């Protein structure tokens, strides 16, 4: 019998990579998607199977982490062997604008999943993966951050995820459930949401090199993140649920990089070197040289400017994970390096904007501008 997985947040970056991985492994994959006024399944459209075909292995259900009766019904129908709770309002800056909603979806949403499994008598059958986060570490207590590092969350998002972390541990201890936290450090890909910093940068670089955007406005360039590739990280999620014992794991590369250095690497991908001037809210970057003699990058052009609107009320300055436990028990190690990740993201955005530009020039479409 094939295993059955249920993924919340299947329309997100990680949901898409995880669904692909589980289908490759022979799972039947159910996913919960939210109703929206426009199609929101771009990342998983290639996995879609006609609902009229029997024996399909990819099935979507409408639902929401704010709706417990909906979750109970879906879990009862699906009878999953594994639940991956990836659904969340996942943007740290936006959580300062929507703190109550974030607490409901990211914090209580996790409780709803755990409680549904308990109420349905599935505690011995269904394993649960909770998408925990390096944001739990927040204000630096120690580096590198491991499973033993104390938490000090610095945003409504992180506080909500802290509740989710501990309620997962509590249900494991109280009811003997196979429920685990993956404390994942930042992971990116060409499927990354457009307003997270890496994708915002790679999209801007691609658009600028085609003359479609003038400048990149950015927030805190001193922040340091431990960035890996989402494809590697979803494999760790699966491995965590295949262990004999339910445990929590840090998943990270062990290398940290500033936002500024990510920008430098992304511009280098289109042959541009930068010169930074000023500091703090007045920092800017100019084209020092363009090896491809790209007309859109004349020497001296201002291409990056800090906009304090992107600063956070409380920032997480430094994240660097210690993935030793994952290496030892899961045999997991990040495969993709940061230079490879930056290359893949810039190249993917270049391809897609070249296509859009051609269509636009032929009168077919209008480019969307994101934050």
Using CB under 6 A, list all residues that contact ligand GDR: 90, 92-93, 133-135, 185-186, 195-198, 200, 218-220, 223, 225, 259, 310, 312, 315-316
Least Cβ distance, residue 4 to ligand NDP (angstroms): 19
Establish if 57 lies at the interface with ligand NDP (CB under 6 A). no
Distance CA 166, CA 172 (A): 10
Distance CA 253, CA 162 (A): 22
Contact partner, 92, from ligand NDP, ligand GDR, none, Cβ < 5-8 Å per class: ligand GDR
Q: DSSP secondary structure string, 124-173?
A: TT-EEEEEEEGGGT-S-SSSSB-TTSPP---SHHHHHHHHHHHHHHHHHH
Contact partner, 89, from ligand NDP, ligand GDR, none, Cβ < 5-8 Å per class: ligand NDP
Contact partner, 223, from ligand GDR, ligand NDP, none, Cβ < 5-8 Å per class: ligand GDR
* 57, 24, 255, 166: CA torsion to nearest 10: 40
Least Cβ distance, residue 53 to ligand NDP (angstroms): 24
Establish if 9 lies at the interface with ligand NDP (CB under 6 A). yes
**Residue whose tokens read 């709770």:** 85
Q: Name the residue number minimizing CB distance to ligand NDP.
A: 12
Number of Cβ within 10 Å of residue 272's Cβ equals 25
Least Cβ distance, residue 273 to ligand NDP (angstroms): 28
233 tagged catalytic: no
Alpha carbon 20 to chain centroid distance?
16
Total residues at interface with ligand NDP (CB under 6 A):
26
**Residue whose tokens read 């790679």:** 202
133 tagged catalytic: yes
**Residues near 183 by beta carbon (within 8 Å), at least 6 away in sequence:** 132, 133, 134, 136, 147, 165, 248, 249, 250, 251, 321
**Residue whose tokens read 């289908």:** 23
**Contact string (CB under 6 A) for ligand NDP, positions 160-189, x = contact:** ------------------------x-xx--
Contact partner, 152, from ligand NDP, ligand GDR, none, Cβ < 5-8 Å per class: none
With contact defined as beta carbons under 8 Å apart, do 111 and 118 qualify? Answer: no
Distance CA 271, CA 204 (A): 14
Q: Out of 11, 123, 133, 198, which one is annotated catalytic?
A: 133
168 tagged catalytic: no
* Residue numbers 79-138 binding ligand NDP by CB under 6 A: 86-90, 105, 131, 133
Question: Interface with ligand NDP by CB under 6 A: which residues?
Answer: 8-9, 11-15, 32, 34, 36, 40, 64-66, 86-90, 105, 131, 133, 184, 186-187, 193
**Which positions are annotated as active-site residues?**
133, 135, 157
């Amino acid at each position: 019998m094939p295993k059955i997985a249920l993924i919340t947040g299947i329309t997100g970056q990680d949901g898409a990579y995880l669904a692909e991985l589980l289908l490759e492994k022979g799972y039947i994959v159910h996913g919960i998607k939210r109703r929206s006024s426009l199609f929101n399944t771009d990342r998983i459209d290639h996995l879609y199977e006609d609902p009229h075909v029997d024996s399909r292995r990819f099935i979507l259900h409408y639902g929401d982490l704010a709706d417990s009766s909906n979750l109970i019904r879906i879990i009862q129908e699906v009878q999953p062997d594994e639940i991956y709770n990836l659904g969340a309002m996942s943007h740290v800056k936006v959580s300062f604008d929507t703190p109550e909603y974030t607490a409901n979806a990211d914090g209580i949403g996790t409780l709803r999943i755990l409680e549904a499994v308990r109420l349905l008598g599935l505690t011995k059958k269904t394993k649960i993966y909770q998408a925990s986060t390096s944001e739990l570490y927040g204000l630096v207590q120690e580096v590198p951050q491991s499973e033993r590092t104390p938490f000090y969350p610095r945003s409504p998002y992180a506080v909500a995820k802290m509740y989710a972390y501990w309620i997962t541990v509590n249900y494991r201890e109280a009811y003997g459930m196979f429920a685990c936290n993956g404390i994942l450090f930042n992971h990116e890909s060409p499927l990354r949401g457009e307003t997270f910093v890496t994708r915002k940068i790679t999209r801007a670089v691609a658009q600028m090199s085609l003359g479609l955007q003038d400048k990149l406005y950015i927030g805190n360039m001193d922040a340091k993140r431990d960035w890996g590739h989402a494809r590697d990280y979803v494999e760790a999620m699966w491995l965590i649920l295949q262990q004999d014992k339910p445990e929590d794991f840090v998943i990270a590369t062990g290398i940290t990089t500033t936002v500024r250095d990510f920008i430098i690497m992304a511009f280098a991908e289109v042959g541009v070197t930068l010169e930074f001037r000023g500091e703090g809210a007045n920092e800017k970057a100019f084209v020092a040289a363009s090896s491809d003699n790209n007309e859109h990058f004349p020497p001296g052009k201002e291409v990056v400017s800090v906009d304090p609107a992107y600063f956070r009320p409380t920032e997480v300055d430094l994240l660097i994970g210690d993935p030793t436990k994952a290496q030892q028990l899961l045999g997991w190690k990040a495969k993709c390096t940061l230079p490879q990740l930056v290359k893949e993201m810039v190249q993917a955005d270049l391809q897609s904007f070249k296509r859009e530009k051609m269509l636009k020039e032929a009168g077919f479409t209008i480019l969307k501008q994101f934050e």
